[in-house]
Amino acid sequence: MGRNFVVAAWERGRHRERRLREVEAETAEHAVITVAASGLAEDHEVVYEAWPSDTPASNLRMVLKRRDGRLSTGT
């Protein structure tokens, strides 16, 4: 059984509002991949932050970009 994570996503370099989504996952990394794979990421680099809903100070930040239909880490 996983934990509840809050995942915030926004496009890098653009002044957009963060999109928040709560998901159940084993780790923060799994929570980010769940949200990224669901189609929030398009052709832009997207910044994701994930944290356990009960421990907001413990967060993870990842930058991902879709390339050739697959997710990869941004540079």
Tens-digit pLDDT profile for residues 8-57: 998 877 767 788 999 999 999 999 999 988 765 456 788 899 999 998 88
CB 5 within 8 A of CB 51: yes
* pLDDT at res. 75: 47
Q: What are phi and psi of 7, to 5 degrees?
A: -120, 125
Output 68 or 9, whichever has higher pLDDT. 9
* pLDDT at res. 38: 79
Range of the domain at 64: 3-73
pTM: 0.78
* pLDDT at res. 45: 83
